[in-house]
């Protein structure tokens, strides 16, 4: 059968209030089928984050770059995204995951898409994600693309956990200092 779910999560800025004192962090509706996978529409954690977020588990440091314009780029939480995810199990301890995401045109961004691939084997994980679409920079449009590779070992919070993320980006994270 199909399981349908919905989630809403908001943030409230109590200090320095104004026009952005109440924001939607997550707000989506999803449908999951055991055989066919999961489809989600709304503001959600993106397939990009499935791969790039493996090192975003802070004790002292986290992947702050993921949150620079995250809602528009879909690098962590993605606004107005339609996504599909499907996991495949090939015996005990070996899995392959596919994630697809699409965001329509908004603000200074044209429609963008992403594809995420990841695998786990004997406690090791490898991932790759591509995200692309045009963005307006000044008076011209540039192709804002990101290729991210990740590797991790262990289970966070249970013994040894290590992760590394490497990205190659063009016109993607412009707001970073």
What does the pLDDT look like over 92-128, one tens digit per residue?
A: 889 999 999 999 988 788 999 999 999 999 899 999 9
Report the CATH number at residue 114.
2.40.160.10
User: Cα dihedral angle (142, 176, 77, 54), rounded to 10 degrees?
Assistant: 110
Q: What range defines the domain where residue 38 resides?
A: 2-170
Q: Which of 136, 133, 144 is nearest to 173 (CA)?
A: 144
What does the pLDDT look like over 125-163, one tens digit per residue?
A: 999 999 999 988 888 889 999 999 999 999 988 899 999
Confidence of residue 19 (pLDDT cuts 50, 70, 90): low
What does the pLDDT look like over 27-70, one tens digit per residue?
A: 999 999 999 999 999 999 999 999 999 999 876 667 878 888 88
What pLDDT does 84 receive?
99
- Could you give the number of structural domains in the chain? 1
What pLDDT does 6 receive?
98
What pLDDT does 14 receive?
75
What pLDDT does 99 receive?
99
Position 72 pLDDT exceeds 50? yes
d(CA 66, CA 9): 19
Specify if 177 maps to a domain.
no
Confidence of residue 21 (pLDDT cuts 50, 70, 90): confident
What is this structure's pTM? 0.88
The answer to whether 55 touches 164, Cβ cutoff 8 Å, is yes
User: Cα dihedral angle (69, 82, 105, 16), rounded to 10 degrees?
Assistant: -40
The answer to whether 52 touches 23, Cβ cutoff 8 Å, is no
Confidence of residue 12 (pLDDT cuts 50, 70, 90): confident
Q: How many CB atoms lie within 10 A of CB 133?
A: 21
What pLDDT does 60 receive?
63
Specify if 125 maps to a domain.
yes
Q: How many CB atoms lie within 10 A of CB 27?
A: 17
d(CA 79, CA 84): 15
Specify if 40 maps to a domain.
yes
Specify if 175 maps to a domain.
no
Specify if 25 maps to a domain.
yes
What does the pLDDT look like over 77-89, one tens digit per residue?
A: 999 999 999 999 9
């Amino acid at each position: 059968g199909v399981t349908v779910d919905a989630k809403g999560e908001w943030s409230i800025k109590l200090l320095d209030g104004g026009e952005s004192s109440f924001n939607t962090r997550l707000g989506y509706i999803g449908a999951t089928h055991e055989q066919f996978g999961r489809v989600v529409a709304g503001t959600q954690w993106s397939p990009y984050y499935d791969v790039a977020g493996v090192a975003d588990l802070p004790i002292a440091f986290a992947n702050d770059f993921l949150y620079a314009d995250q809602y528009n780029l879909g690098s962590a939480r993605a606004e107005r995204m339609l996504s599909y995810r499907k996991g495949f199990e090939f015996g005990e301890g070996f899995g392959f995951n596919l994630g697809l995401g699409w965001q329509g045109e908004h603000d200074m961004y044209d429609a963008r898409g992403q594809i995420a691939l990841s695998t786990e084997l004997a406690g090791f994980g490898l991932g790759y994600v591509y995200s692309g679409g045009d963005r307006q920079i000044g008076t011209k449009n540039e192709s804002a693309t990101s290729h991210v590779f990740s590797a991790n070992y262990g289970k966070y919070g249970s013994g040894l956990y290590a992760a590394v993320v490497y990205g190659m980006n063009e016109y993607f994270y412009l707001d970073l200092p």
